[in-house]
Chains A and B, each alone.
Chain A
Amino acid sequence: GAGVSQTPSNKVTEKGKYVELRCDPISGHTALYWYRQSLGQGPEFLIYFQGTGAADDSGLPNDRFFAVRPEGSVSTLKIQRTERGDSAVYLCASSWGGLTEAFFGQGTRLTVV
């Protein structure tokens, strides 16, 4: 596609529920990144994929967070047993290779009530 696409743009869920956030990278980009941004803060790294594999998942805060990229293109970020503290904007980015110029999607605003 022309740019990185994230769906949904907004998600409201109840505490304790499971959510999935989707990212469609720029066509041909092999690297994909997930970030989380809280109000007034810079984006915080979560996980980096190179192809289908997670090259660096050191930013995932706990085992309730999981991400997949089964075919090396679309990625899904999965959050189990959501907590109010998970409320944030989740950003996805992609690049041609690892740690080259990255392009971001518009984000998914997650609100846990």
Chain B
Amino acid sequence: GIQVEQSPPDLILQEGANSTLRCNFSDSVNNLQWFHQNPWGQLINLFYIPSGTKQNGRLSATTVATERYSLLYISSSQTTDSGVYFCAVELVFGKGTKLTVNP
């Protein structure tokens, strides 16, 4: 089956900093999503992005399907951005990146 690897596993930032989270996958993709899991466990949809680039406020994502990776960019991070970010490829989840944003 498809393999999904996320990096880094943990990331600690000061409020206002920018960050890039990476998702590598092992096979061609028709479905790729980025989620934010908040402290209450709810998975919140960030992007549905099997290819191309999308932006939503301070967040943006790029998927390069031919090179089998996707990037999630967070700019001007806020404490409310803390949580775990998951990439899911063909609905197979990576292990996530735990982001902590300190005030």
Whether the Cβ atoms of B42 and A104 lie closer than 8 Å is yes
Complex contacts, A23 vs chain B, CB 8 Å = none
What residue of chain A has the Cβ atom nearest to residue B84's Cβ? A42
Measured CB to CB, the nearest residue on chain A to B47 is A101
Contact flags A72-109 to B (C-beta < 8 A → 1, else 0): 00000000000000000101010000011111101101
Size of the chain B interface, CB-CB below 8 angstroms: 19
B90: chain A residues at CB < 8 Å are 99
In the complex, the answer to whether B33 meets A106 with C-beta atoms within 8 Å is no
How many residue-residue contacts, CB under 8 A, span A and B?
Answer: 45
Which one of A33, A42, A93, A100 has the highest number of Cβ atoms from chain B below 10 Å of its Cβ? A42
In the complex, which residues of chain A have a beta carbon less than 8 angstroms from the beta carbon of B45? 101, 103
Residues on B with C-beta less than 8 A from A100 are 31, 48
B31 and A99 within 8 A (CB): yes
Q: Which residues of A contact B93 (CB under 8 A)?
A: 35, 42-45
Point out the residues of chain B lying under 8 angstroms from A101, CB to CB. Answer: 31, 33, 45, 48
Interchain CB contact under 8 A, A42 and B86 = yes
